[in-house]
């Protein structure tokens, strides 16, 4: 019997947790390190929309589309329904030609988008005050509380013997004489065969001994979570001035300009008030919408906006998985990367997203 491969995953957000689970599924002995609490940073501050509605290239659409299906299957397998729901999205951020172009693009890709008129929207969302003339309905989409999903996956990993190490920073890597790597952490050294960097926005800082950093253009974003409200909304709502959705406990999760970059100096409490006011305006009745939490997070965004997954160039045995839309993509990417590392099976879905594209950057 051959010994199980030893894999150290650096980062315990949704990407690292998914990768750890997938490596363990394939028989590896996994250790997950995080310099902070388990569950990730961006993952704790995310809107959590699981979608393939926006993808600049066909390859990126194919990856996102496959990721939705994979997330559903994982959710059923691990009974994640407390943290993941699949209500579909109503989208009307744009009007006119831009709206039509989005509909045409999704239709051409076979995404199953439906163009709804005012009355159809009102029937789906009776608590919406001023329904738009048109919206796109994408029923396949969902939303996740990404930090809770990551923590659930990690709990599963731990139950099967995986090692979880919160509050332990990975400082550097160096080759081990017997093969593999020595991982130097704030709590001592570890020996392993493979290292996977799922460090999110911190990927721009690199890691000692790796001699490689990922060019990143991280962006700050704000999410407001409210106290539970009685008024129900039934879909993820993407409107021109606010996007919001409802958790099973009735709390609303809302964001400002989608994928925008929040100015460092922007007044977060004032912006949160604006977001709340916009929600109040959208819903019927005298709504008591109170913010429970205003979260400021950093979106991990590789320089060209696309995911980076696979071998770190020139460093055998070290791999990377860093991306925006990591909530959508994390579970599938984890699975594909685990197969590549442990079984030597590379998926064509990942071929456009290799770290080598930044060589010389
Ligand atoms: C405001 C906002 C809204 C978003 N909305 C969406 C959305 O609607 N849909 C979507 O799909 N995505 C969305 N995203 C993006 C998504 O949240 C991220 O892509 C995803 O959470 C990344 O997960 P991760 O595991 O890679 O990173 P993280 O969750 O950030 O986890 C990385 C972890 O690595 C740890 N780490 C870093 N360096 C080290 C080290 N040296 N040693 C040990 N640990 C280390 C960190 O402590 C951290 O816990 C949003 C992000 C933000 C901020």
Whose Cα sits closest to atom 10 in ligand 1? 325
Q: Is the CB of 324 under 6 A from ligand 1?
A: yes
Phi and psi at residue 35, in whole multiples of 5°?
-75, -15
Would you state the pLDDT for residue 50? 98
Q: What pLDDT digit, counting tens, does each position of 296-312 carry?
A: 899 999 999 999 999 99
The β-bridge relationship of strands 318-322 and 6-10 is unpaired
Residue 27 CA to ligand 1 centre (angstroms): 26
Q: How far apart are CA 27 and CA 16, in angstroms?
A: 17
Q: Is the CB of 327 under 6 A from ligand 1?
A: yes
Q: Report the residue count for the chain.
A: 361
Average pLDDT, the chain: 93
Q: Find, among 247, 280, 279, the residue nearest to 142 by Cα.
A: 247
Phi and psi at residue 95, in whole multiples of 5°?
-130, 175
Residue 300 CA to ligand 1 centre (angstroms): 6
Rounded (5°) CA angle 322-323-325: 145
The β-bridge relationship of strands 318-322 and 194-197 is parallel
Would you state the pLDDT for residue 183? 95
Q: Is the CB of 169 under 6 A from ligand 1?
A: yes
Distances (CA, A) of 50 to 71, 135, 139, 241: 9, 18, 11, 20
For the chain, give every domain's residue range.
6-46+146-216+303-358, 86-142+217-299
Residue 334 CA to ligand 1 centre (angstroms): 14
Give me 109's structure tokens: 């890709």
CATH number of 6-46+146-216+303-358: 3.50.50.60
Q: Find, among 213, 231, 285, 223, the residue nearest to 255 by Cα.
A: 223
197: which strand partners? 10, 320
Q: List all residues 6 or more positions away from 328 whose beta carbon is below 8 Å from its beta carbon.
A: 49, 50, 51, 52, 64, 67, 68, 71
Model confidence at 316, pLDDT cuts 50, 70, 90, reads very high
For the segment 243-247, the average pLDDT, to the nearest whole number, is 95
Residue 202 CA to ligand 1 centre (angstroms): 9
Q: Is 72 exposed, middle or buried, given 0-12, 13-18 or 19+ CB atoms closer than 10 A? A: middle
Ligand 1 site-directed mutation target among 13, 164, 302, most atoms within 8 Å of CB:
13
Q: What pLDDT digit, counting tens, does each position of 196-210 carry?
A: 999 999 999 888 888
Q: Is the CB of 9 under 6 A from ligand 1?
A: no
Quick one: which atom of ligand 1 is closest to the CA of 223?
Answer: 1
Residue 146 CA to ligand 1 centre (angstroms): 9
The packing angle between helices 146-159 and 58-78, to 10°, is 60
206 conformational bin, left if phi > 0, alpha if psi -120 to 50, beta if neither: left
Q: List all residues 6 or more positions away from 152 whose beta carbon is below 8 Å from its beta carbon.
A: 78, 80, 83
Would you state the pLDDT for residue 265? 46
Residue 42 CA to ligand 1 centre (angstroms): 3
Classify domain 86-142+217-299 at the CATH class level: alpha beta
């Amino acid at each position: 019997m051959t010994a199980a491969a030893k894999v150290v995953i650096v980062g315990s957000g949704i990407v690292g947790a998914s990768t750890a689970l997938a490596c363990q599924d394939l028989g590896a002995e996994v250790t997950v390190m995080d310099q902070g609490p388990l569950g990730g940073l961006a993952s704790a501050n995310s809107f959590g929309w699981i979608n393939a509605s926006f993808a600049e290239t066909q390859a990126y659409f194919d990856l996102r589309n496959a990721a939705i299906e994979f997330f559903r299957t994982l959710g059923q397998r691990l009974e994640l329904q407390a943290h993941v729901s699949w209500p579909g999205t109503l989208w009307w951020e744009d009007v006119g030609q831009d709206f039509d172009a989005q509909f045409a693009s999704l239709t051409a890709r076979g995404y199953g988008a439906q163009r709804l008129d005012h009355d159809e929207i009102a029937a789906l969302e009776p608590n919406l005050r001023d329904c738009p003339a048109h919206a796109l309905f994408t029923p396949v989409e969902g939303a996740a509380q990404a930090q809770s999903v990551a923590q659930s996956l990690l709990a599963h990993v731990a139950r099967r013997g995986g090692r979880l190490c919160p509050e332990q920073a990975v400082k550097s890597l160096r080759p081990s004489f017997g093969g593999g790597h020595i991982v130097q952490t704030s709590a001592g050294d570890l020996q392993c065969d493979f290292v996977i960097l799922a460090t999110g926005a911190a990927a721009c800082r690199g890691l000692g001994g790796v001699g490689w950093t990922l060019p990143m253009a991280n962006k700050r974003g704000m999410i407001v979570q409210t106290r539970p409200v009685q008024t129900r909304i039934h879909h993820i709502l993407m409107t021109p001035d606010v996007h919001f959705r409802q958790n099973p406990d009735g709390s609303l999760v809302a964001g400002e300009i989608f994928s925008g970059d929040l100015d460092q100096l922007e007044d977060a409490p004032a912006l949160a008030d604006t977001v709340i006011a916009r929600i109040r305006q959208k819903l019927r009745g005298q709504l008591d919408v109170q913010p429970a939490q205003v979260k400021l997070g950093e979106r991990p965004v590789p320089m060209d906006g696309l995911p980076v997954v696979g071998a770190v160039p020139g460093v055998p045995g070290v791999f990377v998985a860093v991306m925006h839309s990591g909530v959508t993509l994390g579970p599938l990417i984890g699975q594909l990367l685990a197969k590549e590392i442990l079984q030597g099976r590379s998926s064509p879905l990942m071929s456009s997203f290799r770290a080598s594209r930044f060589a010389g950057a």
